[in-house]
Structure 1
Amino acid sequence: MTHSVHLQNVRKVYRIGKERVVAIDDISVSVKTGEICCLLGTSGSGKSTLLNLMAGLEKPTKGLIEVNGIRIDSLNERQLARFRQNYVGFIFQSYNLLPTLTALENVSLPLTFRDVPKKIREEKAAEMLKAVGLEKYILHKPSQMSGGQQQRVGIARAFVSKPPIIFADEPTGNLDSKTTEDVIQLMLRIANENGQTLMIVTHDQHIATYANRIIRIADGNIVSEEYQQREIV
């Protein structure tokens, strides 16, 4: 099986005034294609920084980062933007929907950046919204939807262009337990159907039980890894 993500001796150091803060300390790890992987850790453990490095949102202080066969640690900002457009989908805790756009328009945004014709991107966005159970809400704006519905729009947007890798940063942090269950199962089902790699960052031990693999992070280091069987409903 091939690897979607490969990190070798990756280190990330922030400079705050005269101080140096080590956020990631010499991490080496690989994630297989199609794997449902959870980065688990408390606030400040380095898990979100690690996700940002994998997604090309931040550059390492040193080390090698390869994603979908592309070495991204040496790319410039323009190349990184193109990389994210073509290979990565994002799901955020705060949804990050544009408030002035409808659900259909929000979901079609990644296709706009890929220069997909309007008719085709609207068809694909409508199809994706139907897949997440929001076919009746395609013309609704975020303010007209619940938190769970907004997160479903966020999921549809992340998956609409069928990128090889989906990064989800605390995707259920603003949701109740019932909606959390629905949203996680939805993400897992779509990722499995498409053979996509799904990386979930969370501090919640319960959310981690949904993954095939749990990577525990503490003080910028991987402290343990655990593989588990999980049936997708």
Structure 2
Amino acid sequence: MSRGTSGLFSGRIVALVAAALLVAAWSPRGARAAEGEPDVGFMKVTLMPEYDSSSVLVIEEGKFADRSAFPRAVVFYLPPNVTKLTDVCSLSPSGHHFCQLFDIKKMPDKNVLNMKLPYSDFFIDFDYSPFKAAAKTGRDFTFPLEPNYNIRNLEVLIQKPYRAERFSVTPASAETVEKEGYQYLKYGFQNVRAGELKNFRISYFKQDAMPSVNSKYSAMAKTHLFQDYSAEIILAVGVVGIAAAWMVKRRKAA
């Protein structure tokens, strides 16, 4: 290894260690939200089985009710079998996405996501693999939705995959909506308490193992994986976003 390459490698290691220490300092370590924690005013969870891959694409987005409580550290519970975390973002009042520094702790029944939100709005999406897709087989899995905060209004949308037969979800939904050529089952809940587990059992049969869309041309296809340099990019963008939010807040206070 040349001197220049060694120095570059050492610099990268130092940067990653520093980022890890920041995560450790901010992380609530997966503890359930205690009394006095802010409520989530609105949250929408969208499940898209086999949308652009053989996994289930999950999008969680919403906003905390008290904007003045931010920036602050928050904790979200994700299901086990998460294989790819694409976006962990905070949204500014003007709608800009700020990707965040985050930490994940794997537990037997869940993944605990620790992050720092500069703003009260959040956007998280990930791939989750509770089954192995194969041609001429059925899929049957249960998605556990476990909130770590009280949620005043919760909306859940479950997309029916293209070419799926005998599509069924338990509990049953009284409302079906169409969006961009896809059929969704829609659920609405009010005043969901922290730790109140909601399970959605989803089953269907497919003749093929192809996703609903070609991921090469999908607008939702992502490349940020938990490996190699992508993690460094996410960490770097998160640090810049957090620093910018703190600078804006300090200027306003002055």
Greater relative CO, 1 or 2 (CA 8 Å, sep 6+): 1
Indicate the structure (1 or 2) with the bigger Cα radius of gyration. Answer: 2
Name the structure with the higher helix share. Answer: 1
TM-score by length of 1: 0.26
